[in-house]
Amino acid sequence: MRQIFLGITVALASLGAAWASPQCKAPKEQWMKEADFRAMVEKRGYQIKTFKVSSGQCYEIYGRDAAGKKVEIYFDPATGAELQRK
């Protein structure tokens, strides 16, 4: 019984790690200006409903992609590269 509990605990911990938000390390002086970032993302066809800085210090948007599908995406604030999509 203990082995089953341990196995479940390990599985849940790894699942949580898989869904954890990415961590961005670039100093804020290197970040793209919010207005420039928004313009770049909108040019890619996204509609931004919510923009924020995540707990991991990445740019995070909620909105819709060019096909109208809901998206939650994390971006590197220095480069604008997409890091994770949920």
- 1 belongs to a structural domain: no
pTM of the model: 0.76
- What is the number of structural domains in the chain? 1
Q: Is residue 12 part of a domain?
A: no
What is the separation of C-alpha 35 from the centre of its chain, rounded to a whole number of angstroms?
18
Is 80 exceeded by the pLDDT of residue 9?
no
- Residue 17 maps to a domain: no
Kindly state whether residue 61 falls inside one of the protein's structural domains: yes
What does the alpha-carbon distance between residue 41 and residue 35 come to, in Å, rounded to a whole number? 10
Residue 13 lies in a domain: no
Query: Which string of b and e fits 9-31 if b means at least 16 CB within 10 Å?
Result: eeeeeeeeeeeebeebeeeeeeb
Question: What is the pLDDT, as a whole number, of residue 20?
Answer: 81
**What is the structure's pLDDT at 3?**
55
Structural domain of residue 41, as residue ranges? 22-85
Is residue 17's pLDDT more than 60?
no
